[in-house]
């Protein structure tokens, strides 16, 4: 856990005293990612650098796991906080293994243990240790360097991580990939992370909580969904963008709005059964499912009224389906593309497990997921 109390930094300049960070109060729960977000010069990086005392606070306190960081020697403190920067900062004179082992060796680990740790971390980001341990940074691609930069910050297994736009120096496609990799890793390692970014999309994607800064002030600190749903002022609303509702679609998984009580037909059922279901439920279509649970097609009002016979013969093929762990954006995009109001949801094995309608999604956008204020 990281707690900032009345954290302030002022600089003496030619134009007088400038307050870069003004009485920030912030608490990051254990195992969560807190994104510090804002335009350049808003104080987010200064705030982060005060945590490992690259910048000395003018006043205020920083607690890590309840301990006042003023009580540590800065060098000692930094060795116990993982640190990744935008320019990556791999040392070109050291091999990949040596780069990863920097902090462990500062902490006095023996060579063998450092080596094993480097192998373990390389495996974690799917880079073959035998191929990469002895290479030099300039022999790696940008994406590979970025990965090494991140695992170097994890090397000593510090509980707290500071990341200063760690995915900033990389092309958008690779950035997405590395972000996803990192989130997957975080599920396992559960570090408490302060993550500086200027990109709202990245913040919404990476952050359990997002702190938006402006001119040294903390404007709003909330989970991303709340931030997008209820920006507390004009500045935040502007900053998160006019499409903030659409951004929220990325935050929710289909599983969260899916109806799993979907009524289905077997291929042998008669079409009357379909009419009954359509009349008695809110479903706009009835999926036809074979014995194994794989969808074979669907019957809607128009087909049911016009036809007679077995459901299996009348069913129209489903032109598309979605998976329960896709985000809502995928579902909405598919519905718009195919001009339909509902979509069948499958699990990873291709079995039908429910459906989602446009109404469900609209309803969801009316509430805030994990609304802390309601609790």
Partner 1 sequence: MATATATMRAAAPGRRTVRNLLLVAIFAAGAWAQSSGLLGDILYLWPDIRYLAEQHLVLVGLSWGLAVGAGVPLGVLLTRPWMRRYSESVLQFVNIGQTIPTLAVLALAMSVLGIGFWPSIFALWLYSMLPIVRNAYQGILAVPAHLMEAAVGMGMTRSQILWRVELPNALFVIFAGLRTALAINVGTAPLAFLIGGGGLGELIFTGIALDRTTMMLAGAIPTALLAVSLDFLIGQVQFWLVPKGVNPLRLNR
In the complex, which residues of this chain contact partner 1 (CB under 8 A)?
Answer: 52, 54, 75-80, 83, 85-95, 102-103, 106, 136-139, 152, 162
How near is the Cβ of 20 to partner 1 at its closest, in Å? Answer: 17
Tokens of 219: 């404007």
Q: Which residue has the tokens 């373990």?
A: 120
Q: Which residue has the tokens 């999604």?
A: 361
Residue 15 or 93: which CB sits closer to partner 1?
A: 93
Residue 317 in contact with residue 344, Cβ under 8 Å? no
Which of 35, 25, 3, 8 is CA-nearest to residue 211? 35
Cα 73 to Cα 10, 32, 161, 205, 257: the distances in Å are 22, 26, 18, 35, 50
* Rounded-to-integer distance, Cα 205 and Cα 217, Å: 23
Q: Quick one: DSSP state of residue 351?
A: -
How many other C-beta atoms can be found within 10 angstroms of the C-beta atom of residue 150?
23
How near is the Cβ of 122 to partner 1 at its closest, in Å? Answer: 17
* Rounded-to-integer distance, Cα 160 and Cα 326, Å: 30
**CA atoms within 13 Å, Cβ hemisphere of 362:** 5
Residue 8 or 95: which CB sits closer to partner 1?
A: 95
Q: Classify 151 in phi/psi space as left (phi over 0), alpha (psi -120 to 50) or beta.
A: alpha
How near is the Cβ of 253 to partner 1 at its closest, in Å? Answer: 36
Residue 148 or 331: which CB sits closer to partner 1?
A: 148
Residue 80 or 334: which CB sits closer to partner 1?
A: 80
Residue 78 or 244: which CB sits closer to partner 1?
A: 78
Which is it for strands 33-37 and 209-214: parallel, antiparallel or unpaired?
parallel
How near is the Cβ of 212 to partner 1 at its closest, in Å? Answer: 24
Residue 92 or 349: which CB sits closer to partner 1?
A: 92
Residue 106 in contact with residue 79, Cβ under 8 Å? yes
How near is the Cβ of 238 to partner 1 at its closest, in Å? Answer: 31
Q: What share of the chain is helix, strand, coil (3-state, %, to 5)?
A: 40, 25, 35
Q: Would you mind telling me the total number of residues written for the chain in this entry?
A: 375
How many other C-beta atoms can be found within 10 angstroms of the C-beta atom of residue 36?
29
Q: For residue 300, what are the β-bridge partners? A: 285
Tokens of 207: 């952050």
How near is the Cβ of 203 to partner 1 at its closest, in Å? Answer: 22
How near is the Cβ of 96 to partner 1 at its closest, in Å? Answer: 10
How near is the Cβ of 197 to partner 1 at its closest, in Å? Answer: 18
Residue 163 or 322: which CB sits closer to partner 1?
A: 163
Q: Quick one: DSSP state of residue 71?
A: G
How near is the Cβ of 339 to partner 1 at its closest, in Å? Answer: 51
* Rounded-to-integer distance, Cα 111 and Cα 97, Å: 11
Residue 107 or 237: which CB sits closer to partner 1?
A: 107
How near is the Cβ of 297 to partner 1 at its closest, in Å? Answer: 58
Q: Classify 93 in phi/psi space as left (phi over 0), alpha (psi -120 to 50) or beta.
A: alpha
Instruction: Measure CA 142 to chain center.
Output: 22
Residue 99 or 283: which CB sits closer to partner 1?
A: 99
């Amino acid at each position: 856990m990281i707690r900032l109390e009345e954290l302030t930094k002022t600089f003496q300049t030619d134009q007088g005293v400038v307050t870069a960070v003004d009485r920030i109060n912030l608490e990051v729960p254990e195992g969560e990612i807190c994104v510090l977000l804002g335009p350049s010069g808003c104080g987010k990086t200064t705030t982060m650098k005060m945590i490992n005392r690259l910048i000395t606070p003018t006043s205020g306190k920083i607690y890590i796991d309840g301990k006042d960081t003023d009580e540590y020697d800065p060098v000692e403190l930094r060795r116990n906080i993982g640190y990744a920067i935008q320019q990556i900062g791999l040392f070109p004179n050291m091999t990949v293994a040596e780069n990863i082992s920097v902090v462990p060796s500062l902490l006095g680990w023996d060579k063998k243990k450092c080596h094993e740790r480097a192998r373990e971390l390389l495996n974690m980001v799917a880079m073959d240790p035998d191929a990469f341990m002895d290479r030099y940074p300039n022999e790696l691609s940008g994406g590979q360097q970025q990965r090494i930069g991140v695992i170097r910050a994890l090397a000593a297994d510090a509980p707290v991580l500071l990341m200063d736009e760690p995915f900033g120096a990389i092309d958008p496609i690779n950035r997405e990939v590395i972000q996803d990799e990192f989130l997957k890793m975080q599920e396992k390692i559960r570090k408490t992370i302060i993550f500086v970014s200027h990109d709202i999309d990245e913040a919404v994607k990476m952050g359990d909580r997002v702190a938006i800064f402006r001119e040294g002030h903390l404007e709003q600190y909330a989970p991303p969904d709340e931030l997008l749903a209820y920006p507390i002022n004009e500045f935040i609303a502007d900053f998160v963008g006019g499409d903030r509702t659409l951004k929220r679609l990325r935050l929710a998984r289909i599983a969260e709005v899916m109806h799993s009580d979907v009524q289905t037909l077997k291929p042998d059922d008669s079409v009357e059964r379909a009419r009954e279901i359509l009349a008695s439920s809110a479903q706009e279509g009835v999926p036809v499912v074979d014995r194994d649970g794989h969808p074979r097609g669907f019957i809607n009002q128009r087909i049911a009224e016009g036809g007679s016979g077995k459901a299996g013969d009348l069913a129209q093929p489903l032109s598309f389906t979605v998976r329960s762990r896709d985000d809502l954006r995928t579902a909405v995009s598919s519905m718009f593309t195919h001009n339909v109001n509902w979509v069948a949801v499958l699990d990873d094995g291709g079995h039908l497990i429910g459906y989602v309608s446009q109404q469900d999604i609209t309803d969801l956008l009316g509430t805030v997921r994990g609304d802390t204020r309601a609790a």
